[in-house]
């Protein structure tokens, strides 16, 4: 059993870090709730409502969602993610649609969540998976699994289970125990390098750990709903592959999804390996947050890492998504061991 007093200190530090991260994000919102301005990305408002709701900044989240509804939502439910509002071809990012949809749904903003969700469903490939962006040739794990989780919010178990089936087929099709390929062709065939497919290579650092992490989250959600042990078995297999990967698996900017997957798995099973993995990511977030003393105080509260461009977008995006991975991980772990203050 982990040292409870030590965990409490770590969790308090994690909560404080996310409080700073949310304050940093909110400080950039326009008076009308907008999250696009000169010099900033057109498509990076998708995680804010989800993040802000976690710490109780619901008024700001609602203001932003009203702006999304009035200025960024097309009649067909797709989001405007480019400078040209009439551009329905480029950057139709389904992953970002799912984030916006979940954030809105958690706040009861069905005027935003339902149109987006109905649009997402129109983009499924014949295999049941979803590409990162509409028009891309391959279905991808992070998009498919995150849309599967989104489907759970709508009690759309048919779509959730279709997404899970796609993920399981992907898992069962892996040809190399040292790699994890995370894309398929539209007909469901595993996409290898010759097909333009990518993979996680367990011998290398800075891999796309989030691809497996999102699959873990979907399997955990389905276990919660069905209590079917097979979903825990899939999460365990995902986790055990990641435990064989490089030393940064739980301490990289892309580690949070799998960390939350482990925290949930720990809450279900008590597996100490899962607990240790989730806590490593919480520590990583606390240790790497930009401080006022860094960069002359610029972007304090955000996050940036040396394999990324040093631009505002990166600081904001990590500040938003780390909110969920850290706070939900803490909550699931505390639900198991009971160290609530």
Residues 6+ apart with CB under 8 A from 329: 259, 260, 262, 263, 278, 281, 282
Query: What's the confidence (pLDDT) of residue 267?
Result: 97
What mean pLDDT do residues 168-175 have? 98
Residue 294 has pLDDT above 90, yes or no: no
Overall average pLDDT of the 62-84 stretch: 96
The yes-or-no verdict on residue 1 having pLDDT over 70 is no
CA distance linking residue 273 with residue 211, whole number of Å: 20
Question: pLDDT at position 341, please?
Answer: 54
Residues 6+ apart with CB under 8 A from 319: 21, 22, 24, 25, 51, 301, 302, 303
- 100 CB contacts (<8 Å, ≥6 apart)? 45, 46, 49, 68, 79, 112, 116
3-state secondary structure of 173: coil
Going along the chain, which residue ranges are E strands? 139-140, 179-181, 183-184, 199-201
Residue 155 belongs to what H/E stretch? none
Angle, helices 229-242/272-288, rounded to nearest 10 degrees: 50
Q: Nearest 5°: phi and psi at 73?
A: -110, 120
Determine the Cα–Cα distance for residues 61 and 214; give it in Å rounded to an integer.
24
Q: What is the mean pLDDT of the chain?
A: 96
Q: Which helix (H) or strand (E) holds 264?
A: helix 256-269
121, 113 Cβ separation under 8 angstroms: no
Going by pLDDT thresholds of 50, 70 and 90, the confidence category of residue 297 is confident
Indicate the pTM of the whole model: 0.96
Contact 333, 7 (CB under 8 A): yes
Out of 35-39, 179-183, 309-313, the most confident range is 179-183
Residue 167 has pLDDT above 60, yes or no: yes
pLDDT of residue 124: 98
Q: Dump pLDDT digits (tens) for 229-257.
A: 999 999 999 999 999 999 999 999 999 99
């Amino acid at each position: 059993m982990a040292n409870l007093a030590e965990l409490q200190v770590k969790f308090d530090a994690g909560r404080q870090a996310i409080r700073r991260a949310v304050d940093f994000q909110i400080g950039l919102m326009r008076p009308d709730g907008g999250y696009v301005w000169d010099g900033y990305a057109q498509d990076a408002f998708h995680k804010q409502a989800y993040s802000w709701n976690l710490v109780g900044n619901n008024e700001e989240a609602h203001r932003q969602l009203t702006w999304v509804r009035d200025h960024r939502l097309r009649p067909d439910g797709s989001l405007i993610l480019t400078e040209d509002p009439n551009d329905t071809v480029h950057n139709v990012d389904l992953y970002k649609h799912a984030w916006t949809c979940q954030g809105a749904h958690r706040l009861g903003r069905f005027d935003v969540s339902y149109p987006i969700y109905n649009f997402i469903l129109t983009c499924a490939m014949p295999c049941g998976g979803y590409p990162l962006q509409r028009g891309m040739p391959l279905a991808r794990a992070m998009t498919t699994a995150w849309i599967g989780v989104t489907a759970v919010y709508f009690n759309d178990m048919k779509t959730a289970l279709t997404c899970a089936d796609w993920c399981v087929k992907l898992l069962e099709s892996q040809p190399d125990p040292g790699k994890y390929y995370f894309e398929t062709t539209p007909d469901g065939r595993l996409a290898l390098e010759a097909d333009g497919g990518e993979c996680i290579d367990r011998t290398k650092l800075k891999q796309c750990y989030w691809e497996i992490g999102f699959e873990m989250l979907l399997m955990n959600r389905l276990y919660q709903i069905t209590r079917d042990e097979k979903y825990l078995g899939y999460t365990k297999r995902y986790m055990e592959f990641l435990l064989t990967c490089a030393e940064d698996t739980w301490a990289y900017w892309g580690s949070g999804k799998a960390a939350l997957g482990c925290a949930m798995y720990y809450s279900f099973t008590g597996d100490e390996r899962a607990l240790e993995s989730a806590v490593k990511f919480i520590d990583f977030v606390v240790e790497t947050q930009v401080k006022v003393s860094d960069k002359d105080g610029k972007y304090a509260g955000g996050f940036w890492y040396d394999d990324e461009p040093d631009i505002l977008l990166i600081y904001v995006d990590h500040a938003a998504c780390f909110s969920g991975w850290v706070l939900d991980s803490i909550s699931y772990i505390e639900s198991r061991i009971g160290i609530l203050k």
